[in-house]
Amino acid sequence: MKTVEVLASSGPYDIRISRGLLPVLGTVLRDLFPPVFRVGIVSNPVVWGLYGSRIREALEGAGFRTVVALHPDGERHKTMESVMGLLGVFIGDCWERRDPLLVAGGGVTGDMGGLAAALLLRGVPLVHLPTTVVAQVDSSIGGKTGVDHPLGKNLIGAFNPPRAILSDPEVLGTLPLRERRAGLGEVLKYALIGDGALLDLLEERVEELASERFDGELWERVVTLCSADKARIVSNDERESGERMLLNFGHTFGHALEGALVFAGRQHGEAVAIGMLSAAAIAESGGIAAPGTFSFIKSLTSRAGLPCAWPEGVTFERIHPYLVRDKKVTGGQVALILPEAPGRVRIVRNYDPNLLSRGLFA
Ligand code: NAD
Ligand code: GLY
């Protein structure tokens, strides 16, 4: 078992990473919550169908009663309406403040379950059991929770750090290949913003990670490297006033694309991959990035089996309204995270808005 510590304003917590962690889930939760008899589980029908009986068995074996709340699958259901549905289940069970929620699923489940835990009785303990690449390497770590609004992605939410994150890389083996590859979008992000060891690993083995054959040991290495990166960054800057903004590399255009597509058609990690290429196109055309940066990123993106082009029919006019509602906009100016070279990015706040359309590279 590998353990990575995260520092948060609410107190430190651990990310535990181990293949085969699922069966010992009950013991881990019993250690975290000794006097509690009830655990709420937030999941969706896909994840619950695959892992529900094992999760329930592990928890009930440790003496917990389980109360399960499922939300409909998919980004288009990442809404306040779904969160209200989850809350209703626990309120209906006469929830008490010390009873934790265990959130088992991908980033959509984690963001909504985390928000439900922040809102229920003004806050109940939260534990993440991330089951996708995106969730294990990124979304479960650092306390961001939230839902989408028709006017833009993740515009409603709260910071709500968990009490623990339990990552079992073995569960990534049941992900559809497209989802594993989409997760590589966020993995590439860590490599491109500065994790040299991860960049070397990807340059050498990205095709293996993007292939049908699942290598649990290799994925465990990737999850561990990314978790350590994110833990370090959010421990230094929990509320995103500086360094944490770098984790948004690829997200300004990526989120705008997701909004313009009404949260369907591109997975989050795929949109981030396209967004990183947009940032590289802007940076290279403005002389910020070393020549060749765009083609380097494009080559890795393509080797990861990720899309390398904007979808047909998405014009700058369609994405512009989402760009200007981005959460990093300050004083009306869009903040861009731009690469200077593979492995080095910086925040640019005074970019000429008339040149933003360069992000829609051909
Ligand atoms: P997702 O949660 O929709 O999961 C993708 C698909 O995989 C779903 O259909 C899900 O049911 C299925 N699935 C989950 N685990 C599975 C498993 N082990 N086996 C088989 N199928 C499984 O999407 P995602 O890519 O995990 O997360 C994307 C979301 O995360 C976006 O909403 C994004 O905004 C959010 N996010 C949040 C943060 C943060 O810091 N809070 C960071 C990055 C991304
Ligand atoms: N995924 C970006 C962040 O957590 O800040």
pLDDT in tens, 75-93: 999 999 999 999 999 999 9
Per the CB < 8 A criterion, the answer to whether 228 and 4 are in contact is yes
Q: Give the pLDDT confidence score for residue 327 in this predicted structure.
A: 86
The rounded percent of the chain whose pLDDT value lies above 70 is: 100
Residues 170 and 195 both lie in one domain: no
Q: How far is CA 134 from CA 42, 287, 300, in A?
A: 17, 31, 18
Q: How far apart are CA 257 and CA 268, in angstroms?
A: 9
How much is the average pLDDT of 212-239?
98
Q: How far is CA 196 from the centre of its chain?
A: 21
Residues 48 and 182 both lie in one domain: no
Q: Which of 153, 218, 145, 144 is CA-nearest to residue 187?
A: 218
Q: How far apart are CA 276 and CA 252, in angstroms?
A: 9
Residues 199 and 250 both lie in one domain: yes
Judged against a pLDDT cut of 80, whether residue 137 lies above it is answered with yes
Confidence of residue 329 (pLDDT cuts 50, 70, 90): confident
Confidence of residue 340 (pLDDT cuts 50, 70, 90): very high
What is the count of structural domains for the chain? Answer: 2
Judged against a pLDDT cut of 90, whether residue 350 lies above it is answered with no
| pTM as predicted | 0.97
Q: Give the pLDDT confidence score for residue 332 in this predicted structure.
A: 86
Residues 184-213 have pLDDT tens digits of 999 999 999 999 999 999 999 999 999 999
328-350: burial string, b at 16+ Cβ within 10 Å, e else: beeeeebbbbbbeebbebeebee
Q: What is the CATH number of the domain that holds 199?
A: 1.20.1090.10
The rounded percent of the chain whose pLDDT value lies above 90 is: 92
Residues 60 and 165 both lie in one domain: yes
How much is the average pLDDT of 102-120?
98
Residues 155 and 254 both lie in one domain: no
Q: How far is CA 154 from the centre of its chain?
A: 12
Q: How far is CA 66 from CA 36, 57, 61, 92, in A?
A: 11, 10, 11, 14
Q: Give the pLDDT confidence score for residue 328 in this predicted structure.
A: 84
Residues 259-280 have pLDDT tens digits of 999 888 899 999 999 999 999 9
Ligand 1: lining residues by beta carbon, under 6 Å: 44, 46-47, 50, 73, 75, 78, 105-109, 111, 131-132, 134-135, 138-139, 142, 144, 154, 171, 174-175, 179, 182, 267-269
Q: Among 142, 174, 206, identify where a domain stops.
A: 174
Helical residues (DSSP H) of 194-343, grouped into ranges: 196-209, 216-236, 251-260, 268-285, 293-303, 316-323
Query: What range does the domain containing 154 cover?
Result: 2-174
Confidence of residue 326 (pLDDT cuts 50, 70, 90): confident
Residues 223 and 246 both lie in one domain: yes
Judged against a pLDDT cut of 90, whether residue 231 lies above it is answered with yes
Judged against a pLDDT cut of 80, whether residue 362 lies above it is answered with no
Q: Among 148, 174, 200, identify where a domain stops.
A: 174
- Residue 64, helix vs strand vs coil: coil
Query: From the CA of 345, how far away is ligand 2's center (Å)?
Result: 15
Query: From the CA of 46, how far away is ligand 2's center (Å)?
Result: 25
Residues 50 and 103 both lie in one domain: yes
Highest mean pLDDT range out of 150-154, 298-302, 328-332? 298-302
How much is the average pLDDT of 121-127?
98
Residues 144-196 have pLDDT tens digits of 999 999 998 999 999 999 999 999 999 999 999 999 999 999 999 999 999 99
Q: What is the CATH number of the domain that holds 45?
A: 3.40.50.1970
Residues 91 and 206 both lie in one domain: no
Residues 205 and 312 both lie in one domain: yes
Q: Give the pLDDT confidence score for residue 263 in this predicted structure.
A: 83
Q: Give the pLDDT confidence score for residue 275 in this predicted structure.
A: 97
Judged against a pLDDT cut of 90, whether residue 330 lies above it is answered with no
Residues 167 and 220 both lie in one domain: no
Judged against a pLDDT cut of 90, whether residue 110 lies above it is answered with yes
Mutate to test the pocket of ligand 1, among 83, 132, 186, 237 (most ligand atoms within 8 A of CB): 132
Q: Average pLDDT over the chain, rounded to whole? A: 96
Mutate to test the pocket of ligand 1, among 155, 214, 268 (most ligand atoms within 8 A of CB): 268
Q: How far is CA 314 from the centre of its chain?
A: 24
Q: How far apart are CA 210 and CA 194, in angstroms?
A: 21
How much is the average pLDDT of 128-151?
97
Q: Among 174, 192, 212, identify where a domain stops.
A: 174
Residues 164 and 182 both lie in one domain: no
The number of the ligand 2 atom at minimal distance from the alpha carbon of 142 is: 4
Residues 188 and 47 both lie in one domain: no
